[in-house]
Amino acid sequence: MNRVVSQRMFTWTELMGFVVLAALIFVVLPMTMDVFRLNLFGKYLTYAFVALGLVLCWGAGGILSLGQGVFFGLGGYCMAMFLKLEASSPENTAIQSTPGIPDFMDWNQVTYLPWWWEPFHYLPFALVAVVLVPVALSFVIGVAMFRRRVGGVYFAIITQAIAAILTILIIGQQGYTGGVNGITDLRTMLGWDIRTDDAKVILYFVNAVLLFACLFMAHFVRRSKLGRLLIAIRDREDRVRFSGYDVANFKIFVFCLGCAFAGIGGAMFTLQVGFMSPSFVGIVPSIEMVIFCAVGGRYSIFGAVYGTLLVNWAKTALSESFPELWLFAMGALFIGVVLAFPSGVAGLYNDWIETPIRKALRRSRGPVIAEPAVQQPNPAE
């Protein structure tokens, strides 16, 4: 019986977690909000992709990356390049000195389209690049760091430095990247106007479906042998290495997977918001993304989504009511949650709702069903 229970893909609490979250995202939010607010929550959900990747990397694997904005931005820029080229047809740019190239290139006296922009004329290439470009960079970083057993705070600092470097590079190459303004004035995708209310609603649901696909993938990874090995690596890396496993390969894989999630989120952000700029790539947004994960609970894939929605909603509400104080309020929220609830919102749910219900069910059924494998936070982290 224990073996049967342990092989189930979903426990009843996990299944209910998917159902409740789906009801919130697919039913409650669309039915209670106008298009503007729904588009706003759609933007919040794009950050949830990054928080979900951090749950795998940080919560399960013990890999804290402070540069996830890099991969979010790379995915967003790949999509923005395609949309910008479509908006820069010779007819739409006839008033430029060089028609057929993006407007910011013309303003910076660039008279030809760079070769690395050319493939982004094609949507299939852009869609593949949204995932492969972040994965390629994360693979290089992972091999360089994990093969040399660089981890912990050193890895966090290095990823933060990479975020700063990429931001400086994007701003400095204004003629090819749009500089500090980024890539703006994105209008259509294959002739479909993404600025209309109908398009915003459709993109919200597309975003939600993709997020659930990533949630299922993350859940599968955590329930598999790979997920158990990641937790073992997080808690006792040396013992796993001495057991004959190549720890670096596991770390590289989960880091790349988290960065692929971030790239998808960045692309959906560009589609829903209509631009991409370096302000979403640097150190500050990267740290904010870690806050989303920490507030929601870095050990819970559902907590990542709820934490992202909660923090961004609070950020919007506080900035609207207290435009000069909202940053302090956000800092207080983060410090308070981390100090009082180390496992975030998900920890509160586990302590006050799930555990009492499970105990009540156990008392009613008797001591037959074994506890599923639940990862516990490492007090030393």
Give the count of domains, the chain: 1
Specify if 122 maps to a domain: yes
What residue type is 210 in one-letter code? L
State pLDDT tens for residues 57-72. 998 888 999 999 999 9
**Tens-digit pLDDT string for the chain (381 aa):** 444 444 567 788 888 889 999 999 999 999 999 999 999 999 999 999 999 999 999 988 889 999 999 999 999 999 999 999 999 988 888 888 888 899 999 898 888 899 999 999 999 999 999 999 999 999 999 999 999 888 888 999 999 999 999 999 999 999 899 889 999 989 899 989 999 999 999 999 999 999 999 999 999 999 899 999 999 999 888 899 988 899 999 999 999 999 999 999 999 999 999 999 998 888 888 988 988 888 888 888 999 999 999 989 988 888 777 777 777 777 777 777 777 777 788 877 777 777 777 777 777 766 555 555 545 555 444
Q: What is the reported pLDDT for 362?
A: 74
Percentages helix, strand, coil for the chain, rounded to the nearest 5? Answer: 75, 0, 25
Specify if 363 maps to a domain: no
Q: Residue 290 forms beta bridges with which residues?
A: none
Q: Tell me, what DSSP letter sits at residue 370?
A: P
Q: What is the reported pLDDT for 349?
A: 77
Q: What is the reported pLDDT for 85?
A: 93
Q: From CA 272, how far away is CA 46, in angstroms rounded?
A: 9
Specify if 22 maps to a domain: no
Specify if 295 maps to a domain: no
Q: What is the reported pLDDT for 377?
A: 52
Q: What is the reported pLDDT for 3?
A: 47
Q: What is the pTM of this model?
A: 0.89
What 3-state class would DSSP assign to 1? Answer: coil
Q: What is the reported pLDDT for 90?
A: 87
Q: What is the reported pLDDT for 368?
A: 52
Q: What is the reported pLDDT for 379?
A: 42
Specify if 336 maps to a domain: no
Specify if 145 maps to a domain: yes
Q: Residue 226 forms beta bridges with which residues?
A: none
Look up tokens 């030809």; give the residue: 112
Q: Which domain holds residue 246?
A: 38-282
Q: What is the reported pLDDT for 1?
A: 41
Specify if 260 maps to a domain: yes
Provide the CA 84 distance to its chain's centre, in angstroms: 23
First-to-last alpha carbon distance for the chain, in angstroms, is 34
DSSP 21-78: HHHIIIIIHHHHS-HHHHHHHHHHHHHHHHHHHHIIIIIIT----S-HHHHHHHHHHH
Q: What is the reported pLDDT for 158?
A: 93
> How many Cα atoms occupy the beta-carbon half-sphere of 221 within 13 Å?
25
DSSP 190-255: TTEETTSHHHHHHHHHHHHHHHHHHHHHHHHHHHSHHHHHHHHHHH-HHHHHHTT--HHHHHHHHH
Specify if 304 maps to a domain: no
Q: Judge contact between 250 and 229, C-beta under 8 A.
A: yes
Q: Judge contact between 275 and 183, C-beta under 8 A.
A: yes
Tokens of 339: 């100090």
